[in-house]
């Protein structure tokens, strides 16, 4: 088996992120979850700014929020 060669350093390239909001659309005690996704969020967007945008979008919905998630996408190379 060949010897494993580990990298000493890595280059990060941050790509655009996405915002995902999960809503509870169930009736009574039945939980039906739907997710809305918003792509092309700037890679450098601050978490607080992304959260505030999500809260603004949520305020336009009639359903209750379950969660807010910012999904980052980063390429790694040598």
Q: How many CB atoms neighbour CB 39 within 10 A?
A: 11
Q: Which pTM value belongs to this model?
A: 0.76
Block residue for tokens 């979008």: 57
Taking a C-beta distance cutoff of 8 angstroms, is the pair 50, 70 a contact?
yes
Residues sharing a CB contact under 8 Å with residue 13, sequence separation 6 or more, in sequence order:
74, 75, 76, 77
Q: What is the pLDDT of residues 28-65, one digit of tens each?
A: 677 788 999 999 999 889 999 999 999 999 999 999 89
Q: What is the pLDDT of residues 21-37, one digit of tens each?
A: 999 887 667 778 899 99
């Amino acid at each position: 088996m060949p010897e494993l060669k580990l990298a000493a350093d890595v280059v990060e390239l941050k790509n655009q992120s996405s915002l995902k909001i999960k809503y509870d659309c169930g009736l009574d005690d039945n939980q039906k979850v739907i997710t809305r996704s918003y792509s092309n969020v700037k890679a450098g967007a601050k978490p607080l700014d992304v959260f505030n945008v999500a809260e603004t979008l949520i305020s336009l919905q009639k359903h209750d929020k379950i969660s807010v998630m910012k999904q980052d996408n980063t390429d790694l190379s040598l």
